[in-house]
Structure formats: C-alpha cells, structure tokens
Amino acid sequence: MFGVPSNYVPVSAPINPAVIGGDANYNNTNNVLVPLKNGTNQLVALDTGLNPYRNQWVPGPWLTNVSASLYKTVAFTEKVKLRLNLDAFNVLNQPGLPAPTTEGIISLRNSAQGARVLQYTARITW
C-alpha cells in the first residue's frame, strides 16, 4: 500500500494475528481457550464490550437563527401615539437538520426549527 505512514497503528487489532499456515480457529481472531472446571478447554471469542469507536463524536446540526423587528411610531396628537411593530422570527427561513441523518430529507416534519413567523402588533399610548 502506498501513502501509509511508517508509524501507522490500527485502532484495534485481533489478539491472535494472522500466521501463514496457522490454525483457522486462531488466525486473525480474538478466539481464546478458557479452562473449565472439569479440566476441558472451551474456545470462545474474547469480547471486552468496548467498541474502539465508542468515544467518537458526531457534529450536531449547524443552526443559525436570525430574528428582527421593525417599528414605526405615529403621533396623532401631542399625547396620543400609535406604535406599529413587525417582529420576524427565523427571518432567513433556515430549517436545519434535527440530528445527523442519513436520509437527506428536509421537511417541516423533521426540521430543527420552525418556518419563518411574522408577528404584527399595534400599541396606543396616551
């Protein structure tokens, strides 16, 4: 193989390495002999229960959310004023993925954020 560094070590290796002409029960496996109480040996596969990839992290969704507000104040008299507001949530309308997924489908059903929402308000002060 080309391009493999000389100091390369695999993440996990079998207990019994492959030997040319070796026993098929042991070649490149984790099989070991366990002595039983009656004096016989039982061939079993050693399993530590620790997957070498157990601590690997998966990047979560890259969510961005922009909210904005616009308002205009209109004076009817010196004391009576009307303030009109427009609030927009998720202005860029980016759905995002809820979790790392392999299906590749983005819809409102499985999006991490809701669709763009607009809110209109009016306030009279006197």
pLDDT confidence of residue 56: 63
| Local confidence band at 67 (pLDDT 50, 70, 90 cut-offs) | very high
The CA-atom distances, in angstroms, between 126 and each of 30, 72, 79, 120 are 83, 16, 5, 20
- How is the chain split into domains, by residue range? 1-53, 68-125
DSSP sequence for 62-125: ------EEEEEEEESSSS-EEEEEEEEESTT-----SS--SS----TTS-SSPPPEEEEEEEEE
Percent of the chain with pLDDT over 70: 75
pLDDT tens, position by position, 23-48: 777 788 888 888 999 999 998 888 77
Name the token pair of 89: 């949530």
pLDDT averaged over every residue in the chain = 81
